[in-house]
Structure 1
């Protein structure tokens, strides 16, 4: 049986993974540990095989007053947790990084491949990248380090941009039809991927994503359809939105392009168990 410690007691991914692994009661034992104060430093990690590090600041902020906190939590706390894990005999440390290390989405087509160099555009992305760089040197034959850089994660109960778009899909009669592409990852596909990484005791850098790219307008229409709503897609607003896209962070978040080359996300086992339509149905219903 694999004993897994998840840091961050209220993380969406962590709690979702715990529910996912309940299907295998004889294979996994899950524990949670909050890192909000220094009491965690006294906790014995030696009883665990795996530490899945989810503790961190997940949202993007442009407030300069927050910068020091991002580095303290997302970078320094990650490195400190990994060092403790190694010192106390944990065999595998899994760190949840983000596609944000490559910068923001763009109004131009943008494909991230194996040669793309990370270029964070804010201190959230940079704190994640520096955390990665801080834990990689800790790896050896007895301590595996796996770093995941997922794109936007969504699912029932998720936070961020997806639920905002879902609300729009149920209210607006029309929506802009802009030809963009985004990599996304449903929570079930991610949980299955993490399960395989644990089972295989993997190390390295990973880029899990759904097996199909997403066009924002088609996703909004699909969400509306699941709720029995009708929404008309129109290109009428495209010229204005394309101009605004060069100036507006919000427009880029909604209609920008940011995808992984699918070959980056290949894995030796099939973790992409949900097609896109099914993920929308599970998320909305």
Structure 2
């Protein structure tokens, strides 16, 4: 049996990973812990095979007053946890990073491959990248380090941009007919990849995504179909959106392009347990 400690006891990913692994409770034994205070430092890590570190500041902020906190939580805390894990004999440390280490989405096609150099555009992305670099230096044969850089994660009760788009899809009769491409990842696909990474005792950097790229227009259409809403797609707004996309972050997040090369996201076993249509149905209806 694998004993796993998950930081971020109330995080969206953490709650879903616990549920996912509970389907095989005879194989995985999970504990969760909050790292908001220093009590975590008193816990004996030696009884765990794996630390899955999910805790951190997830939202992107440009407020300079938040900069120190981002580095303190996303970088410094991550490295301290990894150091403690290594010193107490934990075999595998899994860190949840983000596609944001490559910068923002773009109004033109932006494909990330193995040759793409990370270039964070804010201190959220930079704090994640510095955390990655800090824990990689700790790796050796007996302490394996895993970095996962997921794109936008969605699923039932998810936070972030997806629920905002879903609300639009349920209510609006008109939506811009913009053709863009985004890498996205359903929560179940992420949970299954994490399970496989643990089973196979992996190390390295992973770039998971759904099997197909997502166009926001098609996602809106699929969500609307689930709820019986009909939407008319028009190109009338396209010139304004293209003008504003490089200037307005929210519009860039919705209509910009940001994708992983599909080869980058392949794995030796299938972790994509949900296709796009099924994932939208599960997200919107829970079935």
Identify whether the pair has TM-score above 0.5, normalized to the shorter chain. yes
Matched, 1:86 2:86: yes
Match of 1:77 in 2: 77
Q: What does residue range 183-194 of structure 1 map to in structure 2 within 5 Å?
A: 183-194=183-194
| SS of equivalent residue, structure 1 residue 138 | coil
242-251 vs 179-188, which moves further = 242-251
C-alpha distance in structure 1 between counterparts of 2:164 and 2:117, whole Å? 30
The unaligned stretches of length 5 or more in structure 2 are: none
> Partners in 1 of 2:123 and 2:62 — Cα distance?
8
C-alpha distance in structure 2 between counterparts of 1:106 and 1:62, whole Å: 18
Q: TM-score scaled to structure 1, two decimals?
A: 0.99
- What secondary structure does 1:175 align onto? strand
* Alpha-carbon distance, 1:171 to partner: 1.1
CA–CA distance in structure 2, aligned partners of residues 246 and 137 of structure 1: 36
Query: Partners in 2 of 1:121 and 1:114 — Cα distance?
Result: 19
* Aligned counterpart, 1:145: 145
Whether 2:51 is the aligned partner of 1:45: answer: no
SS of match in other structure, 2:86: helix
Counterpart-to-counterpart distance in 2, 1:21 and 1:39: 25
Unmatched segments (≥5 aa) in structure 1: none
The SS at the match of 1:71 is helix
SS at match of 1:46: helix
Match of 2:175 in 1: 175
List, as ranges, runs of 4+ consecutive aligned residues in structure 1 with deviation greater than 2 Å: none
Q: How does 1:181-220 map to 2 (within 5 A)?
A: 181-220=181-220
- Name the residue aligned to 1:59: 59
SS of equivalent residue, structure 2 residue 126: helix
1:238 equivalent to 2:238? Answer yes
Alpha-carbon deviations, 1:67-88, whole Å to 9, x = none? 0000000000000000000001
Paired residue secondary structure (1:240):
helix
Per the TM alignment, residue 246 of structure 1 is displaced from its structure 2 partner at its CA by 2.1
* SS of equivalent residue, structure 2 residue 179: coil
| In structure 2, C-alpha distance between the alignment counterparts of 1:163 and 1:245, rounded to whole Å | 20
Separation of aligned partners in 2, 1:140 and 1:246: 42
Deviation at 1:217, TM superposition (A): 0.8
| Separation in 2, partners of 1:120, 1:6 | 26
Aligned residue pairs: how many? Answer: 285
Structure 1 SS opposite 2:137: helix
Q: Distance in 1 between matches of 2:32 and 2:240?
A: 48
State the partner residue of 2:111.
Answer: 111
Q: Report the Cα distance in structure 1 between the residues aligned to 2:224 and 2:62, rounded to whole angstroms.
A: 32
For residue 240 of structure 1, report the CA deviation from its aligned partner: 1.1
Within 5 Å, which residues of 2 pair with 1:240-279? Answer: 240-279=240-279
Please report the RMSD computed on the Cα atoms of aligned residues, expressed in angstroms. Answer: 0.5
Alignment correspondent of 2:228 = 228
Once residues 24 and 185 of structure 1 are traced to their aligned partners in structure 2, the CA distance between those partners, rounded to angstroms, is 22
Q: CA separation in 1, counterparts of 2:188 and 2:251?
A: 28
Is the partner of 2:185 in helix, strand or coil?
Answer: strand
Separation (CA, whole Å) in 2 of partners of 1:41 and 1:191: 27
User: Where does residue 34 of structure 2 map in the other structure?
Assistant: 34
Provide Cα deviations, 1:196-232, integer angstroms capped at 9, x if missing partner: 0000000000001000000001101110100111111
